[in-house]
Structure 1
C-alpha cells in the first residue's frame, strides 16, 4: 500500500512539473570509435556532438565517448557492436568489412570525390536514395567521407604512374585496394591504427590516407614524400558512418528521439565533412615542417591515372549490377550529387 502511495505521489510530482514518467526518462549513450581522442573527428565532431546532445536534452541524455577501441574489439567489429547493442553509437568505415556494403563503394571509386564537406552532403542524399536497406540494422546519424585521398610514400615517392609499380601500399577499403592494384602497386589492406607500425617496420612502402589522419598518426615522420593530384577530385575517398543501435533509438521517448533527430542528417554529415577538410591543414603543415617533398601531379599525368583506373569503375558497375543494383545509375547519381554540392 505504501509503495502504491509513493508511486502515486511521484507521478503527481512529475505531472506538476509538466512531465509524464515516460518523458522523465534519463538515457546514457556510449559512443565507441577507433581513433585517439585528439584526432580531428573525435575532437572537433564526436565530442562537440555529444555535448550538443546533452545540452539540448537538458542533461537527460548523457553521452560517454570511448576512443581508440577502449571498449574492446577491433575497428572492423564496430558496426556489429552498434547493431548488436554492445555499444550505443559507433563511428566507423563500412569498408572495414569488404563487400558487405557494396552500395557505399560508389563514392569510393577512383577520382569520384572532392572536398569532404560538399561530398558528405552528397553522400547523405545518396544514402537516402540507395542505401537505407544496406544500413537497416542500425539507425544512421550521419554518413560522410574524408577529404581527397593521396599518396604518402617513403624515399623519392611517386612522380608518375610508373613509379607505382611494385610499391606495397596500405589501402583502407576494397575499392581503394582494387585501384592500387590497377595502378601497379601491391595493395595491403589494414585498419588505419595499424598503419604507423607497418610503415616503421617496412611492412609497407607507403599509404593512402587523407592529410587529416596524418597528424595524429605522425605519418610525416615515417615517410619522405606526398603525392597529390591537380583538379577538383582526389585519387580516392573512404566512406564513414556514425550510427546508433536501432533498438536503443526506438526505446527513446519522443522528446529525446527529437533531440537525436535534430542532430542527425545532411547538416550533421556536412559538419563532420567540414571537420575532415579543416583537419587536412595541420597534416600539410607537419609534412612541410618535416622537410618532406609535397608534389601535385599535373593534369596531363592525372589523365593517365584516370585512364588506368577506369577498369575499376567498370568492374564495380558490373559486379553490383549482378547483385540487383543499377550500378551505372549509381555512378551517374554520385557524380551529379557531388557536382551539385561542390558547385562545379
Structure 2
C-alpha cells in the first residue's frame, strides 16, 4: 500500500500544473466625469463587451476625470508612453499636432455625429494614419453639432458675437470665432463651468450632450442653436487609442476581440450615442427655464461667408507640410456625404 501511495505521489509530481488563463486589466483614462456619455455609454459598455467576449480574461479599470494625473491635452502621450493602456481624448486639445484630422472641425462640414464619425474613421485610415503611428487607433468620432451657451444674452445674428469672450475647444474653432467677431478663449471642457460662473468667459461653444454632465445649464441662461437644415457650425474629433506595446503583448485571440469591438463600428456607435444624447440634454436645458433660439439658415449664409477663408487657410497650412490640402478637403467632404446617404 505504501509503495502504491508513493507511486501515485511521484506520478502527480510529474504531471503538468493546471493552467489558468491570465486576467489582463486595461487601464482606461479620460477627462470627463462618470455621468458623461463617453464614460457611461461608450467606454463602459466597450469594456463590458471585451470582458464578455474574452470570458473574463480581458477587463478594464476606468479612470475618469484625469484620475491618473496629467491634463486632458496629455492623454494621447499617456497612451503612447504607457501611462495608460487606453485613452479617450479630444485631439484638438493638442493644437496643431494632428493637422490632417482637423479638416473635420472646419465650419459647416459635419452632418450627423454618426455619419461624420464613420467618415473620420475612413479618412484617418486612408490619409492620416501617419499622424497616429505611435498608438493603436481604436476609434475616431465626433460629437453632434455644437452650439452657443451664454450667460447674459443670446446670439441671434452675426453682430451679436462681436466682443463676446467665448470658449472654444480647438485651434480651428478659435479661428472660427475670431472670424465671426468674437474673442476666442481656448480651454478644455472641464474648465468651462467655473470660467462661466466667475465671468471669465461670456459663453461657450459646446455640444448639448456634455452640458448636463458639467452643469453648464446651471450657469448660463441662453442656448443659441443653428438651423438643423444647415451643416453643423462645428464639431470636434475624439479618439480612442491604445498603447501599441500593450496591444502587441496580448495573445492573438484577445487581439482579435479588441479588433472586433473597435474600428468603424465603435466609431459609428460613439457618434450615434452623441446624436441620441443631444435631445435628452436639450430637454434638461429647457426644463431649467433657459431660453433657446435658432439662428436661421438665411442668417447663417453670412456666417459662411465670414468663415470661408478658414478652408483656404487649412489647405495652405497642410500644403506647407507636404500634403495636397485641396484633395484632402474634398476627400473629407466626400466621405461625409457618402456616409450621410446611408
TM-score range, shorter chain: over 0.9
* Contact 1:172 1:238 (C-alpha < 8 Å) held by counterparts: yes
In structure 2, the CA distance between the partners of 1:286 and 1:7, relative to structure 1 (3 Å rule), is farther
Counterpart among 40, 47, 71 of residue 43 in structure 1 = 40
Structure 2-normalised TM-score?
Answer: 0.94
Alignment of 1:218-297 (within 5 A): 218-230=215-227, 231-297=229-295
TM-score by length of 1: 0.93
Deviation for aligned residue 1:26: 2.9
State whether structure 2 residue 308 is matched by structure 1 residue 310: yes
* Alignment match, 2:187: 190
Contact 1:150 1:209 in 2 (8 A): yes
Cα-to-partner distance string for 1:253-302 (whole Å, 9 max, x where unaligned) = 10010010001110110011111111112221111112222111111101
**Residues 28 and 61, structure 1, Cα contact 8 Å, conserved in 2:** yes
The answer for the alignment partner of 1:18 in structure 2 is none
Distance in 2 of aligned mates of 1:46 and 1:334: 26
Residue ranges of structure 2 left out of the alignment (5+ in a row): 1-11
Inter-partner Cα distance in structure 1 for 2:14 and 2:77: 39
Is the CA contact (8 Å cut-off) linking 1:75 and 1:191 kept in structure 2? Answer: yes
1:9 to 11, 16, 19: 16
SS of the equivalent of 2:314 reads helix
**Greater than 6 Å deviation, 4+ residue runs:** 5-8
Deviates more, 1:218-227 or 1:191-200: 218-227
**1:31–1:188 CA distance, 2 compared to 1 (3 A):** same
Counterpart CA distance in 2 for 1:127 and 1:143 is: 8
Selected match of 2:159 from 157, 162, 174: 162
Alpha-carbon RMSD across the aligned residues, in angstroms, is 1.6
**Cα distance in 2, alignment partners of residues 66 and 159 from structure 1:** 40
| Distance in 1 between residues matched to 2:102 and 2:311, nearest whole Å | 10
1:8 shift after superposition: 6.2
- Number of aligned positions between the proteins: 331
Query: Larger radius of gyration, structure 1 or 2?
Result: 2
Contact 2:167 2:185 in 1 (8 A): yes
